[in-house]
Amino acid sequence: MEATLKQLKIQTSAVRRLLKEVAHYEKEAAGHETKLQGMKDEEADQYDIRAQERLLEESMMMIPDSKRRLEAAVVELRELVEAHQEDEALAEKIAEARAVLPSEQEANPEETGEGA
């Protein structure tokens, strides 16, 4: 049971961290996109525009990787919660894990047509 408790803590923290990471990269990419558009509108130096485009591309490349790692962590945490949901000794950590887990629609926006 101690090992299960430790796994629950680790997976809950991982999902929490990865949710923040995905949100950070999406926000960063949006900021780079806004800045790039502003630079183009102001007809900034082409070198600066290309540098900003590279920053945007780097941010955009991180999003799918972060989402893939988040999906894997969510699946693992869900399996752990389902396997031990009846264990009274773990009830508090199970509740904490469930609170961190995104809903099915949030976890799979592509399947509902919202993420495209």
- Report the CATH fold assignment for 2-107: Methane Monooxygenase Hydroxylase; Chain G, domain 1 (1.20.58)
Distance CA 78, CA 72 (A): 10
Q: Is the pLDDT of residue 113 over 80?
A: no
Contacts of residue 29, defined as CB under 8 A and 6 or more positions apart, other chains included, come to: 56, 59, 60, 63
Q: Is the pLDDT of residue 106 over 60?
A: no
Tens digits of per-residue pLDDT, 21-35? Answer: 999 999 999 999 999
- The whole-model pTM stands at 0.77
Tens digits of per-residue pLDDT, 38-95? Answer: 999 999 899 999 999 999 999 999 999 999 999 999 999 999 999 888 888 888 888 8
In terms of pLDDT, which residue wins out, 102 or 52?
52
Locate the domains of the chain by residue range. Answer: 2-107
Q: Is the pLDDT of residue 115 over 60?
A: no
CA angle 70, 18, 105 (to 5 degrees): 50
Q: Is the pLDDT of residue 110 over 80?
A: no
Distance CA 102, CA 109 (A): 11
